[in-house]
Amino acid sequence: MRVPAKVNLALNVGATDNEGYHALGTLFQAVSLFDDLVARPAEAGVFRVSFRGEGASGLPTDDTNLVVRAARLLAGTCGTGNLGAEIRVHKRIPVAGGMAGGSADAAATLVACNQLWGTSLDTGQLHAVAARLGADVPFLLHGGTAVGTGRGEKLRPVPVRGSFQWVLALSHHGLSTPAVFREFDRISPPQPTGIDSGLLAALADGDARRVGALLRNDLQRAAFNLQPELADVLAMGREAGATGALVSGSGPTIAFLAGTKAVADAISDRLVLSSRVRAVRRAHGPVPGARIVN
């Protein structure tokens, strides 16, 4: 299984509901930074996960892990007590990076276990299970570029012309999504959640310059308050010629849109020199969601 990361080209944060979740209007794009996952059969009721690669040593592997919860929830939904799985994940998506790495692994787990167990849930049924695991999990099943509403789980694919080049600046430290939303609530009133029609038109036209000018993330200021050095990183990439730049999701990864490959080279050449940046990754989007590969 191969599953991509995501960036949010828009992350518009509205009011909270009675469970403390925010109404979102978001524009997701799946990008070519992938986790690989293999699922093998295990004894009935055994759901185990192990990780290697990027950030693997810091991840919990007990029942709180989203991969274990995804496998267990799928088995429970299918209603037979004889299912189990041993899941291995090779991580490249940064942990706690605002690129939905945990949600991506959960989405991949659902597709992998559905295949392994022959449970034959269709796309709509998998989507319903995914939505119970987290707001970003349904999008990582589908991939591409899509508007997400509700908590982010109600998806509408949108047309995109061509491919967009991204440069991703990874941070030394993670950020907790709930902490970033709490900081947003402290410093900002709820914002209008409608997605800018100009942004959708620019995507449909494949116009990176217009897309770059219209990127919006309402969580950005909250992320900057929690990691002030991120503002410098963002300024660095802009100076190097980025067409657009924003914090990815709840951060701390910063995503730079590059109009050409030469500009992407210039941005990454600049960022690798900065002590504030742990690593730089190149990616393009959109790409498909969780899928079976050889």
Minimum CB distance to ligand C5P smaller for 8 or for 165 = 8
Looking at residue 143, the DSSP 8-state letter turns out to be B
User: Which stretches of the chain bind ligand C5P, using CB under 6 A?
Assistant: 21-22, 24, 103, 134-136, 151-152, 177-178, 181
To the question of whether residue 96 is assigned a binding role by annotation, the answer is yes
Active site annotation includes 91: no
* Angstrom distance (rounded) from CA 132 to CA 119: 18
DSSP secondary structure letters along 29-61: EEEEEEEEEEEEE-STT-EEEEEEETTGGGS--
Closest distance to ligand C5P from the beta carbon of 247 (Å): 15
- Report whether 47 contacts 1 (CB < 8 A): no
| Residue 23, annotated as binding a ligand | no
- H-helix or E-strand containing 155? strand 154-157
Helix axes 101-116, 66-78, angle to 10 degrees: 30
102 annotated as a binding-site residue? yes
- 210 contacts 31 by C-beta, under 8 angstroms: no
6 flagged as catalytic: yes
Catalytic residue among 35, 91, 105, 136: 136
Q: Which is nearer to ligand C5P, 78 or 137 (CB)?
A: 137
Shortest distance, CB of residue 100 to ligand C5P, whole angstroms? 8
Closest approach, Cβ 19 to ligand C5P, in A, equals 9
Q: Which is nearer to ligand C5P, 98 or 143 (CB)?
A: 98
- What are the binding residues for ATP? 94-104
Show which residues are catalytic.
6, 136
Binding site residues, as ranges? 94-104
